[in-house]
Structure 1
Amino acid sequence: MNYIVIGKIINTHGIKGEVKLDPHTDDLKRYSDLNKIYIGDEKDPVEIENVRYHKNMVLLKLKEFNNINEVLFLKGEKIYIDEIDRVKLPDDKYFIYELIGCKVFDIEGKFVGDIKEILQNPSNDVYVIKDKEKEYLIPAVKEFIKEVNIIEKKVIIDTIEGMIE
C-alpha cells in the first residue's frame, strides 16, 4: 500500500482527546471526507470520529482516544492516507510529494539539479532546486516550467538570464 502525508500533529486540543493538525493540503476541508488515517512511521490505522476547523488548522477527534493523556504521545507524528484516497487533481496540477526528487533540466538538456522543496506562496509556488553546491529558486509558472513528467521524475525549465548561474 502507498501512503501520502497529509499533515502533522502539532499539539493536543482540549482535554477530550482531540489533536491539532498542521494540514499539508491546499484544500483544508478535504479532511471532512476521510474516515480513516494512518499515524506515524508505523502507519497505525485510526478511525476519525469528528473533524473541526479553527484558524487554518484541523482539529481531529480520533475514535480510539478519549482524553488528553491518551494523545500526548502523538505530538509531532505525521498523518497519512492511502494513495487511493487522495483527491483528484486537474491536468497540469501535481501533488508536492510527486514533484520532490524530480530531476530538473533546462531546455537544452543540461542537468540543473533536483527539486528538494516546494515553497507555497500566495501568487505561485516556487521550486527549490539543488545541485551539489548551489540552490535555485524557480517560480512554478508556465513561463519557466515547460514540461513535467511525473512518471520519469523529470522537469524541463526555460530560464531567463541570471536565474541559474
Structure 2
Amino acid sequence: MDLLSVGRISGTHHLKGAVKITSNVDGIEVLEGNKVMVELSSGEIKILTVKKVAPMVGKKWTMEFEELTNKTDAASIQNAVIKARRDLLGIEEDEFLANDVLGMKAFTEEGESIGEVVDVYETAAHDIYVIEDDEYETMIPDVEVFIKKIDFDKNEMVVSLIDGMREKKKD
C-alpha cells in the first residue's frame, strides 16, 4: 500500500477533539469516512478514521477523527504526520507530488552527498527543491537538466549542479 503524507497536525481546534492541519495536498476532503495513518513524532503509529474535513485559510484545514472525542485526545497527536493511500486522493502509482521528495537524500552525479531535501518552493515555472547539509544550502529547479534521477525505493535523488546552486549557510 503506497502512502502519501497529506499534512502535519499543527494544533487542537475546539474542545471536541478536532485538530488543525497544514497540508500542501489538494482535495483532502475525500478522506472523510476513510482511515488514515497518523505517525507521531515518537514514531508510534495510530490508525484513525476521518470523520470530517473543513478548510480554514490558505493551506490550513480542520480534521475530526471518530476516535478522538476531546481536546486531550487531540493534543496527544500534536505535530504528527497524517498519511493516506495515494489512490484515495486520485494520485496514480507512477505520479508523485512535491511532498514525496521531502526527506530524500541528494547526491551529485559523481556520488557526493549534498544533503537532504528539506523544503519545496512552488514557482510559476516549476518547483524548487531546497537541499541542506550542515554547511550548505542548495536550491535546485525541478527540471530534467538538473534532476537526473529520483529513486523512491532508496529515498534518494541524483542531481546535476552548476556554479551558484550551493551556498554556504550563514551563521
Q: 1:33 aligns with which of 23, 31, 35?
A: 31
Identical counterparts, % of pairs: 22
Corresponding position of 2:60:
57
Count of matched residue pairs: 161
- Summarize deviations over 1:91-124 as a string: whole Å, max 9, x none: 6745534463344224xx3635243323223333
Structure 1: which 4+ aligned runs deviate by more than 6 Å?
Answer: none
Unaligned stretches of 5+ residues in structure 2 = none
Corresponding position of 1:122:
123
Unaligned stretches of 5+ residues in structure 1 = none
Q: Is the 8 A contact 1:118 1:125 kept in 2?
A: no
Whole-angstrom CA distance in 2 between matches of 1:92 and 1:69: 37
Q: Is the 8 A contact 1:104 1:115 kept in 2?
A: no
Which amino acid is 1:96 matched to? N
Corresponding position of 1:13:
13
Closer, same or farther: CA 141–63 of 1 in aligned 2, 3 Å? same
Compare CA radii of gyration and give the structure with the larger one.
Answer: 1
Whole-angstrom CA distance in 1 between matches of 2:81 and 2:155: 24
Whole-angstrom CA distance in 1 between matches of 2:19 and 2:98: 25
**TM-score when normalising by structure 2:** 0.69
Indicate the SS of the match to 1:137: strand
Whole-angstrom CA distance in 1 between matches of 2:93 and 2:2: 21
Closer, same or farther: CA 155–143 of 1 in aligned 2, 3 Å? same
Whole-angstrom CA distance in 2 between matches of 1:73 and 1:154: 32
1:68 paired with 2:71, answer yes
Closer, same or farther: CA 77–160 of 1 in aligned 2, 3 Å? closer
Stretch deviating more after TM superposition (59-68 or 153-162): 153-162
Closer, same or farther: CA 134–76 of 1 in aligned 2, 3 Å? closer
Q: Is the 8 A contact 1:99 1:150 kept in 2?
A: no
Closer, same or farther: CA 52–114 of 1 in aligned 2, 3 Å? same
Indicate the SS of the match to 1:32: helix
Give 1:10-159 correspondences, 5 Å limit: 10-23=10-23, 25-27=24-26, 29-33=27-31, 35-39=34-38, 40=40, 41-55=43-57, 56-82=59-85, 87-89=90-92, 93-94=96-97, 96-98=99-101, 100-106=103-109, 109=110, 111=112, 113-123=114-124, 124-130=126-132, 133-151=135-153, 153=155, 155-159=157-161
Deviation at 1:57, TM superposition (A): 1.3
Whole-angstrom CA distance in 2 between matches of 1:156 and 1:4: 22
